[in-house]
Amino acid sequence: MDDGSPLFLVLLGAPGAGKGTQARMLSEKWGIPQVSTGDIFRGNLESETELGLLAKQYMEKGELVPDEVTIGMVQERLSHSDCARGAILDGFPRNIPQARALDDILKEKGTSLRFVPYIKVSDEVLLARLSGRWICRQCGAVYHMLYNPPKVPGKCDICGGELYQRPDDRPEVAKNRLKVYFEQTAPLIEYYRQRGLLVEIDGEQEIEGVQVALEAAIKSHDCP
Ligand code: ADP
Ligand code: ADP
Ligand code: ZN
């Protein structure tokens, strides 16, 4: 980064707000990793690790995986050498204890969050985004059947992998995830606002528009 200090960025927003989509674009542009707790859990689920089996019980109901598991996993991930210049966190923190734990992890690294973009999207739009979301089984790229369709239906533009719909995007589970979001994650908006870190981004623009707004916020906070 410009001044040599690492850039750890948290993307805050409800399920379906576009965090994963934006995190992936920023990660490619800056060459710093995207750390998505949902992706890590899904990867473990796919390879049937102990962590995956544990996470599955929570994910299929749309509940949060317990903090001791999630925080330890993020701490471990951020200790890898590829995170030396920073990381884009997508899906973490998701409650106040996780936010406090992240503050401590970054403090240990001699750094802190410079600002926190909150990607704001209304409830109706969130449900429409979740119900049309398709993911590549191979590379994790995210599509939407209406708003960001693949060139060939059912196939990933990037790697040709098979696209699938997440079981937790079904309306019953998606509704519970939004409930959990409002109860446990939305309080983080105030947590970061009180610390003077919150920057609201209009998440209802097109994907490119959100990217431009995010980059402008990043520039104005002396990031790269
Ligand atoms: P999150 O990681 O916050 O849950 P995603 O990035 O997975 O959100 O996006 C949710 C769905 O909405 C995906 O199908 C994605 O293609 C689509 N999407 C993301 N950003 C936008 C946007 N700005 N406008 C329309 N659709 C979007
Ligand atoms: P979305 O961005 O659409 O909300 P994610 O892929 O981030 O979905 O998360 C999927 C599921 O993984 C969550 O519903 C939850 O069960 C689990 N999960 C992801 N991140 C966390 C976290 N930080 N803490 C606890 N559980 C998490
Ligand atoms: Zn792919």
pLDDT, tens digit, 9 for 90 and up, residues 134-191 = 999 998 999 999 999 999 999 999 999 999 999 999 999 999 999 999 999 999 999 9
85 is catalytic: no
Residue 165 belongs to a domain: no
Q: What is the pLDDT of residue 168?
A: 96
| Residue 116 counted as domain residue | yes
User: Domain for residue 29, yes or no?
Assistant: yes
Rounded Cα distance between 206 and 184, Å, is 27
Task: Please indicate, yes or no, if residue 198 is contained in any of the structural domains.
Answer: yes
* 32, part of any domain: yes
Which residues lie across from 35 on neighbouring strands? Answer: 89
Counting runs of H as helices and runs of E as strands, what totals does the chain give? 9, 8
Each residue of 15-40: pLDDT tens digit? 999 999 999 999 999 999 999 999 99
Domain that holds residue 112: 7-122+186-220
pLDDT at 5 > cutoff 90 = no
166 is a catalytic site residue:
yes
Q: Return the ligand 1 atom nearest residue 207 CA.
A: 23
Mean pLDDT for all residues in the chain: 95
Residues with CB under 6 A from ligand 2: 15-16, 19-20, 37-38, 41, 58-59, 62-65, 70, 91-92, 94, 98, 168, 177
- Angle, helices 187-194 vs 96-108, to 10°: value is 40
149 falls within a domain = no
- Going by their DSSP bridges, the two strands 142-144 and 133-136 should be labelled as antiparallel
CB of residue 147 inside a 6 A radius of ligand 1: yes
- The arithmetic mean of pLDDT across residues 47-76, rounded, is 97
Query: Is 87 in contact with 196 (CB distance < 8 Å)?
Result: no
Say whether pLDDT at 1 is over 50.
Answer: no
Task: For ligand 1, pick from 11, 39, 89, 129 the residue to mutate: most ligand atoms within 8 Å of CB.
Answer: 129
Number of compact structural domains in the chain: 1
Write the single-letter amino acid at 123: D
We report the CATH number of the domain holding residue 212 as 3.40.50.300
Count of C-beta atoms within a 10 Å radius of residue 47: 9
Coil, helix or strand at residue 224: coil
| Domain presence at residue 105 | yes
CA dihedral 212→213→219→221, nearest 10 degrees, is -160
183-193 pLDDT per residue, tens: 999 999 999 99
| Residue 127 belongs to some domain of the structure | no
Number of the ligand 1 atom closest to the C-alpha atom of 144: 14
